[in-house]
């Protein structure tokens, strides 16, 4: 869900590289501190400045982000149909 959070940060004006690095470091910190990703993120000042806890929960919920899954499935279907026509 880091990608979804990153996209949310970018929408709020945080630079993409800065958001990526913040989330990368947070992921590492979950292991070293034995805490959840949400716990680590919500202690970060940039996250707290840009997201309420409710918003962060929304971005971390997999049901709210399917990425490019729809596009990938459509591409596979197109390829299968094209292959069948040969």
Best CA proximity match to 56, nearest among 18, 1, 17, 16: 1
Listed in sequence order, the DSSP H helices in 12-68 are: 16-33, 37-42, 45-50, 53-60
What does the pLDDT read at residue 8?
96
Cβ atoms of residues 33 and 40 within 8 Å: yes
12-40 pLDDT per residue, tens: 999 999 999 999 999 999 999 999 999 99
Res 71: pLDDT? 86
CA distance 13 to 15: 6
CATH number of 2-85: 1.10.40
pLDDT digit string (tens) for 48-80?
999 999 999 999 998 888 877 888 889 999 988
The pLDDT assigned to 63 comes to 87
């Amino acid at each position: 869900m880091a990608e979804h959070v990153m996209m949310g940060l970018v929408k709020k004006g945080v630079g993409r590289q800065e958001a990526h690095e913040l989330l990368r470091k947070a992921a590492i910190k979950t292991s070293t501190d034995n805490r959840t990703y949400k716990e680590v993120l919500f202690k970060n000042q940039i996250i707290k400045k840009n997201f309420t806890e409710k918003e962060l929960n929304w971005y971390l919920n997999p049901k709210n982000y399917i990425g490019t899954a729809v596009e990938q499935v459509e591409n596979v279907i197109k390829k299968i149909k094209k292959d069948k026509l040969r």
